[in-house]
Each structure stands twice: as structure tokens, then as C-alpha cells.
Structure 1
Amino acid sequence: MGKVSFRPTSWEEYIGQEDLKNNLKITITASQLENRAIDHILLSGPAGVGKTSLAYLIGVVLKTKTHILHGPNLQKPSDLICVLTLLKDFEVVFIDEIHAISKEVSELLYPVLEDNTLNLIIGKDYNSKNINITLPKFTLIGATTNLYHLSHPLIQRFPINLTMSNYNLSDLQQIIFNCAAQQAIRLGMPEAYFIAQHSRFNPRIAINLFKRIYDYALTTGSKIITIALIKVVFKNLQIYLGGISKLEINYLWIINNTFSNKPTGIELIAQVLNEPVLNITNSVEPLLLKLGFLQKTNRGRVITTKGQEFLQKINFKKFENS
């Protein structure tokens, strides 16, 4: 497959987030009618739901250049100034993981977002002076997985603030089917739906699973991707229905078996599982809650009947000493 890009190049190719897309279409059309840059945009949501793809797509729709920057690399004002001073009208600046920029860079953005002005201080102490540079008409798009790591003043300065969510199975099915069609691979809608069921409601994970299935089909000489073939790949990857991994199964097993499914505190679970609490709350529990396998109570975590049935179905005892 090589370095194939599955990024959409049109609104029709961008599957999901329909309300968000419709709002952006209106904004872009209005800006084009008045020959102005579209307002600055802040995209927030879980990793892998298409924030970067959407930023790329906006640049394609506007038929303009998109400058790609990464928040962790923007720690000094000069890191951003060198890009802003070279902009041309209607270009797009995309800052991925914008929550990782430094406080100094964040404050530099205040007048940029609000007045389209770069405010610089030249010199030091008594010899310093302020210089205001009017910037070309451009659009800044910021993307973050941690919205509340951004300062409130910075968030408020984005006129368009959009929240992206995880996908439903139907949209994921279509994304996977489109990927297969792009590679001229025979994969039906039932098979695409089966992959979607194991994708944790996340398009990036769905595409990555498709790539692993493609690799297996290629190396085994399989011309058609069947559900039987997909099951072999998922078994090798230790991926279960819903996209549940071995870590999540061990989490369920510990509560259900070690603590006899009595309400258990998260700190105790983390110690037994040998995982940081933050990793459990951010990466393990959200999917289990969404699938209805886990319940949070005032006294602690318990496994639901649905979760216990899942453990019995996969013969969870084999994970006891893993």
C-alpha cells in the first residue's frame, strides 16, 4: 500500500460530522461572496476524529496554501512570527495540538486573532518600543484534544469554536468501504461494517485496522477480504468486539474476578493493573462506558451484566496471569 493518503479532498469525501460541515460550508460561502478570509477556527475533540483532515480540506476548498505547525514546536514567539510575517492573503495556518503552545506564544496570538495585528516589542528596557504589524487576511485553524488546557482568553478569541465527536458505525463503515475502493480492493459493506464494529468509534483506528487487514491479504495472496480473514487478523492483533484490547479486558477481569465485582476505587485498580490512573480514565474507561460494560458509582467501579456476559463469551480466564 505504501504511503497512501486517505485524506478527503472534497466535502463529499469527508464522511461524518454533518452539522459541523454544513456550518463550515455556509461560513466559507459567505466569506467568498464578500472576498474576505474566513474567521479563525478552533477544532476540539478526541484524537483521530478528523480535525487535521478537516483543516487540510478547508485549505483545499479555499484553493489556498495551508501552513502546518505543531503546538509542541511553538515555544518561542519567534517560532510563530517567522511564519506569520511571510503569509499572503487568504492563506491558512493550521496549528495542531494548539494546547501545547507556550504562554508567550499564546499571548502573542491575542492581537493576531482579535485585530489581525502582530504586536512586537523591539529592544530592551528603556530602549524598547512597540511595533504593530498588520498581517494579511488569513485564517488560523487550531486543533486540540485538550480544550481546557487552553487559556480562556485564547479560546474566546476564536470566532468559530467547533467540537468534533466520535463516529457512528454507519459513517465508519462508509469510510472503510471508501478506503478499499481507493485501493481497488474487493471488500463488501458487511465486511466494512464488521471492521467498523472493532474501530472504537474512531475513523483513524478504522483506517489503521483496514491497513493491517490489507497487509495480511497481500501477504497471503487473498483476492477478497472476507469476515473470516478479518477475524484472523483481529485475533492476531488481540482485538475484540468494539475494539476492546487486552488492557481493557484485564481491567474488566480485575474488577470482576479479583474484587468479585464489588465497587472498587480507581486507585486500587490502577495499582493492580500497573497503569497510571490518568491512562485508565482517559484511554480505558471511556470505551467501556460507551459499550455499557462499566458503571461508575459513588463507591467505585462495577462491571455491568453486559460486561460480565462479554467476559464469559471470550473466556476471560486466559487473561488471569497475563
Structure 2
Amino acid sequence: MTSHVDDGGDHSVGRSLIAAEAAADESTVEAALRPRTLAELIGQGRVRDQLGLVLEAARSRGRPPDHVLLAGPPGLGKTTLAMIIAAELSAPLRVTSGPAIQHAGDLAAILSSLAEGEVLFLDEIHRMSRPAEEMLYMAMEDFRVDVVVGKGPGATAIPLEIPPFTLVGATTRAGLLPGPLRDRFGFTGHLEYYEVDELDEIVRRSAQLLDVPITDHAAREVASRSRGTPRIANRLLRRVRDYAQVRADGVVRTKTAQAALDLYEVDEEGLDRLDRAVLDALCRRFGGGPVGVSTLAVAVGEERETVEEVAEPFLVRRGYLARTPRGRVATPAAWRQLGLAPPADAAFGQSPSLFDDP
């Protein structure tokens, strides 16, 4: 589980607080807050039980477990689970990422240096280059790779045996993984968003580890605004802690938590400035849609990717926004959230619009 040190000005702070991706400077706090074993892990009960069975069976056989694929939105604990797998197996952990492996030789260098039973964690595995991906097929299945020496007609493939290892792949875009790669994973765990009760427990645990005095009601307040994501919950906890230290007596009570989260523009539903701007533009400027996401991004002064990857998934999940073939449309819940009555012709994109993306 993770936390956050916010970045620059007010505009970016508000968005970074509810972005599920980890910031570059979060690693130190992440290490302090992550659970070390499956028994310490809060939430993800189905995946936890299934993975526990896989690991226990592997330990009883004295062999590395099957390769593991962890799929789900950012901030739900894929990296934490990879570290837990290594800890449960008492095995060393090697960490890398798909974008860092752009050539087959990069992957060969990593694989050839693995020790027997070592756990290789490959984050963002869907972003690995195709040549490296094809080399990984053979490594996962046969524990060997063919290293090509030379070029052209004189090139020679030298088989290189590698010790048995366990690959833990993590992806936020499981649909982008080719079938042959998915099929080589013996276990796939799909991580789900957390319930408020689970986040409440996570906030109280993190507060204890960070030595933050917090009341039960205040912990619940933070959890309820965390968008189902532990990383965001821990991030909000740190900002609430800062507020309590500077503007209160250091103890995080309900009113302190509410004042802090209001300052950072995170409302009771977990909506932040960007979310509200998207809903406001969609309803007030475009009559509820349908409207293309690029047009919507221009209307709120953000990049298309920011709207599509930060705001839109949460708005869809909470039932405020719907995706249609013609564009994004506001649901009746979105109109009510803004205190507006939906017009009669705003029935989920049935009316024509000039603002669809081509």
C-alpha cells in the first residue's frame, strides 16, 4: 500500500491527490506502509486465498510456483503482492518494468543473472517490446533463452539455460497482453476496488505506522473519499495529518479531516476539482452529451489522457458518466450531483450532438 508526497502548485496538487498512479517520490513511504505477508494484507480476500494456496503448494513441493499475473487498476496493491510472494517464498526479488525492456538483449541480461527460485517482478508487462516478449515465452515455459550472436547470414543462436524462477507480471491493461503470453501464467489474480470498510482498516493501520493520532470517525471520513483505492487513502491520510499538525492540535478528528479534504477539493463522494469540472462541462455546456472525450478535455483545460485515465474511470464506476459509441453522456446522477434537473432530451445520448469526436 502506498502514500504520497504532493507536487507543485495548487492545480497539480488537487489532481495528484486522487491519481491512482504512484508519484516518483512515493517509494520511501510505500515501503513503510506495505504489508509484508498475506496474513497482513487487508482486502482482496479472493485473490489472497487463491494465491496463498498456490504458494503453500509450491513450498510443500520444494519448487518455484507457477508464474503469476496480477491485473487491475493502479493503486490496488500489485507491487505489494509481488513483494509478499517473494517474502512468503523466502526468495530474492528482482524488480523491473516493461518500458525498461526495449530489446531482447535487455531481458536476456536480466534472466541470465537470476538465481534459482528468484522472483522476477515485471511491472507494466503490457508495455514490453515485442522481441523481448517473444523471448519471454521460451523463458517462462522452458527456462531457457536463445541469444543471437552476430547479424545476417552469419548470425548464430546460442541456447542459454536459466534456473527455474517465478515471474510476477503486473498490468493495468490486461486486454493488451497477447494470448500466448497470458496463457503462460499459471495463476491470474484480478484485483478489485476496495470497500469503505477495508479502506477504513487500511487508514487506521497506516495511521498507526506513521504515528498519526486519528479518531475512528476521522479514519472513516478519509476512507469514504478514497475512491476505493488504498494508495489514495494513504495519500489523503498524509495530507490530513499535515493539516492537523499545522492548523489544529495534531490529532486528526472528523472536523479536521473534513476541513483538510475540503481544502484539497476532495468532496464527500471522492470527487475532486477535475471530476467536477468534467461533469460541469458535460451538463452545463453540452447539455449532457454525447460529447467526444477530446472536446471534453479542451473544455476543462486538460489533456485528453488526463480526463480519460484519471477522471473518467471513477465517474463511470460511480454512475455519473456513461460511454456510448457517439461520446460521453451524463447520467441523471450527474445532474443531481450538480444540483440540476436533467432536460427531457438528455436521455443517455439519444439526441444528436455537434461535439462528437471523429
After TM superposition, the score normalised by the length of structure 1 is: 0.89
Hey, what does 1:151 align to over in structure 2? 178
Structure 1 residue 32: deviation in Å?
0.9
User: Structure 2: which amino acid aligns with 1:199?
Assistant: S
Written as runs of structure 1 = structure 2, the 5 A alignment for 1:269-308 is: 269-296=296-323, 300-308=327-335
Structure 2 residue 247 is the aligned partner of structure 1 residue 246: no
Matches of 1:43 and 1:242, distance apart in 2: 28
User: Structure 2: which amino acid aligns with 1:21?
Assistant: R
Taking a change above 3 Å as real, the CA distance of residues 72 and 265 of structure 1, as seen in their structure-2 partners, is: closer
Hey, what does 2:353 align to over in structure 1? none
User: Structure 1: which amino acid aligns with 2:96?
Assistant: L
Matches of 1:58 and 1:155, distance apart in 2: 19
Hey, what does 1:52 align to over in structure 2? 79
Name which of 124, 128, 134 aligns with 2:155.
128
Structure 1 residue 140: deviation in Å?
0.7
Name which of 61, 65, 85 aligns with 2:112.
85
Name which of 189, 206, 211 aligns with 2:216.
189
| Number of corresponding residues | 313
Structure 1 residue 188: deviation in Å?
2.7
Matches of 2:47 and 2:244, distance apart in 1: 36
Hey, what does 2:39 align to over in structure 1? 12
After TM superposition, the score normalised by the length of structure 2 is: 0.81
Structure 1 residue 264: deviation in Å?
4.0
Name which of 74, 88, 96 aligns with 1:61.
88
Matches of 1:293 and 1:148, distance apart in 2: 25
User: Structure 2: which amino acid aligns with 1:202?
Assistant: T
| Structure 2, unaligned runs of 5 or more | 6-27, 341-358
Name which of 260, 267, 273 aligns with 1:233.
260
Structure 1 residue 299: deviation in Å?
6.0
Pick which of 170-179 and 216-225 moved more: 216-225
Structure 1 residue 181: deviation in Å?
1.4
Taking a change above 3 Å as real, the CA distance of residues 152 and 236 of structure 1, as seen in their structure-2 partners, is: same
Structure 2 residue 116 is the aligned partner of structure 1 residue 112: no
Structure 2 residue 231 is the aligned partner of structure 1 residue 204: yes
Could you list the per-position Cα deviations for residues 28-64 of structure 1 after superposition, in whole angstroms to 9, with x for gaps in the alignment?
A: 1111111110111111111111000100111111111
Hey, what does 1:319 align to over in structure 2? none
Hey, what does 1:259 align to over in structure 2? 286
User: Structure 1: which amino acid aligns with 2:131?
Assistant: E
Structure 1 residue 298: deviation in Å?
6.2
CA RMSD of aligned residues (A): 2.2
| Structure 1, unaligned runs of 5 or more | 314-322
Hey, what does 2:9 align to over in structure 1? none
User: Structure 1: which amino acid aligns with 2:113?
Assistant: L
Matches of 1:89 and 1:223, distance apart in 2: 49
SS state at 2:147 partner:
strand
SS state at 1:167 partner:
coil
Structure 1 residue 101: deviation in Å?
1.4
Could you list the per-position Cα deviations for residues 272-320 of structure 1 after superposition, in whole angstroms to 9, with x for gaps in the alignment?
A: 234444443332222122223234556654433432332239xxxxxxx
User: Structure 2: which amino acid aligns with 1:7?
Assistant: R
Pick which of 123-132 and 139-148 moved more: 123-132
User: Structure 2: which amino acid aligns with 1:200?
Assistant: R
Matches of 2:140 and 2:325, distance apart in 1: 43
Taking a change above 3 Å as real, the CA distance of residues 186 and 274 of structure 1, as seen in their structure-2 partners, is: closer
SS state at 1:119 partner:
strand
Taking a change above 3 Å as real, the CA distance of residues 161 and 173 of structure 1, as seen in their structure-2 partners, is: same
SS state at 1:162 partner:
strand
Would the aligned equivalents of 2:221 and 2:258 in 1 still touch at CA under 8 Å?
no
Taking a change above 3 Å as real, the CA distance of residues 74 and 301 of structure 1, as seen in their structure-2 partners, is: closer
Pick which of 232-241 and 122-131 moved more: 122-131
Pick which of 163-172 and 251-260 moved more: 251-260
SS state at 1:241 partner:
coil
Q: Percent identity?
A: 31
Would the aligned equivalents of 2:70 and 2:189 in 1 still touch at CA under 8 Å?
yes
Matches of 1:203 and 1:72, distance apart in 2: 25
Would the aligned equivalents of 2:291 and 2:326 in 1 still touch at CA under 8 Å?
yes
Name which of 166, 175, 181 aligns with 2:193.
166
Matches of 1:103 and 1:206, distance apart in 2: 36
